Structure 1
Amino acid sequence: MKLLLTSGGVTNLSIRAALVRLLGKPIAECRALAVPTAQWGHPMCGPASVRRFVADEPGGRSLAGLGWASLGVLELTALPTIDVDRWLPWVQDADVLLVDGGDATYLCHWMRESGLADLLPSLTGTVWVGVSAGSMVMTPRVGARFVEWSGAVDDRTLGLVDFSIFPHLDAFPTNTLAEAQRWARDIGLPAYAIDEQTAIAVADGCVEVVSEGSWTTFEA
């Protein structure tokens, strides 16, 4: 699986170009599935924010509005209740999974419960586009400050990459560089702090920062 790990989505031409490189063909030829599940685990999210994520609205900046050949919604909390033979082709036929933010530990839980986490290694040609928690879920840990779901046992996530991510750098008063430095010391892993104009592309073992904004790295 190829990863485009963002803080705010496809927010500039550089990130869009990186997405097209990972896809290997134009966006207009690609089938996408939008995954809003992480939003249900965060107290600041709800039906209205989910609608903004999945709706292709005029003038909007949603990932849904990039011009996909087809777009569907994949709700992970529903998958354990239906036959895997029904939903598996939906995922296998998709060129890209668009995974929104919310709470990364909640998303991680439902990726495991649904069976999607076990399926990821077989999706070698699929691109995962994460936004905030949708990116952080691929890391080993998110840090206690980013856990909002009351059902979380700890801050561990899938660990498909060997670094952690501090998103929304300078987008909120609490997401300053100084706070990112404190977070990085606590987490004890290689890490990136990225703003809304930055993404991390991961393919074939190579990690590339794509940015028209601000970002920094932290050693373990």
Structure 2
Amino acid sequence: MKLLLTSGGVTNDSIRSALVDLLGKPIEEASALFVPTAQWGQPMCSPQSVWNSTAGRWRNGVQSMVELGWKSVGLLELTALPSVGRERWEPWVRAADALLVDGGEAVFLATWMRKSGLADLLPELHDTVWVGVSAGSMVMTPRIGREFVDWQPDGTDETLGVVDFSIFPHLDYPGWTENSTESARRWAANLSGPAYAIDEQTAIRVVDGAVDVISEGQWELLNAAPQIA
């Protein structure tokens, strides 16, 4: 699977170009499935917020993931998949060029990815592009840190561990004092592995284990392994 891990979505030309490159074709020729599941685990989200993001009315002037010009977009709600049956939903996932995974609560999302069976399928989706927003990106990391656990505050902060780094999203977002650079550094100090703090204009691309950062904004690599001379 190819990963495009963002904080705020496809917010600039650089991130959009990276998405097209990962798809291997124009967005207009690609099909996508939108996954809103993470919102149900986030106390600040609601049925209205799920509708707004699904309908493309959520990003406050920023073009939403569902409105990028896809050939087709469908909705994939992970909490429904166990009752639908894998033989029905798996062909939908395999046929999609991209999975657009919205933000919310990353541990909740990881739980339903496991319960639904989607997590088990990921290693077989070699050409599929995973486009994450906030928690939709964080779910691919080993841990999200206690600061981002909202669904079960006394539970784990562990997620899927598809990549070997953690992500602090919404860096220095206006009005969100808890997302300052200083907060990101304190957060990273409680994690054992490398971590990226990224703002709304930044994405992390991962292909075959190779990681690079695409940014027209601000980002910082924290807990980086020391370089050997």
TM-score normalised to structure 2 length = 0.93
Separation in structure 2 between the aligned mates of residue 64 and residue 152 of structure 1, nearest angstrom: 34
1:201 and 2:213 equivalent? no
- Give the aligned CA root-mean-square deviation in angstroms: 1.4
Shift of 1:74: 0.1
Q: Is the Cα–Cα contact under 8 Å of residues 52 and 62 in structure 1 kept in the other structure?
A: no
Aligned to 2:185: 181
Q: Is the Cα–Cα contact under 8 Å of residues 99 and 128 in structure 2 kept in the other structure?
A: yes
Separation in structure 1 between the aligned mates of residue 213 and residue 130 of structure 2, nearest angstrom: 16
Three-state SS of the structure 2 residue aligned to 1:117 is: helix
Can you give the 5+ residue segments of structure 1 that lack an aligned partner in the other structure? none
Separation in structure 1 between the aligned mates of residue 104 and residue 8 of structure 2, nearest angstrom: 12
1:37-85 Cα offsets, whole Å, 9 max, x none, are: 000000001112112211145x662100000000000000000111211
Three-state SS of the structure 2 residue aligned to 1:149 is: coil
The amino acid of 1:121's aligned partner reads P
The amino acid of 2:194's aligned partner reads P
Aligned to 2:87: 85
Three-state SS of the structure 1 residue aligned to 2:161 is: coil
1:125 and 2:133 equivalent? no
Aligned to 2:19: 19
The amino acid of 1:53's aligned partner reads S
Aligned residues: 220
Q: Is the Cα–Cα contact under 8 Å of residues 39 and 103 in structure 2 kept in the other structure?
A: yes
Structure 1 residues 113 and 151: alpha-carbon distance in aligned structure 2, compared to 1, 3 A threshold = farther
Separation in structure 1 between the aligned mates of residue 163 and residue 92 of structure 2, nearest angstrom: 25
Shift of 1:152: 6.7
TM-score normalised to structure 1 length = 0.97
Identity of aligned residues (%): 65
Structure 1 residues 114 and 87: alpha-carbon distance in aligned structure 2, compared to 1, 3 A threshold = same
Larger mean Cα displacement after TM superposition, 92-101 or 82-91: 82-91
- Which aligned runs of 4 or more in structure 1 are off by greater than 2 angstroms? 150-153
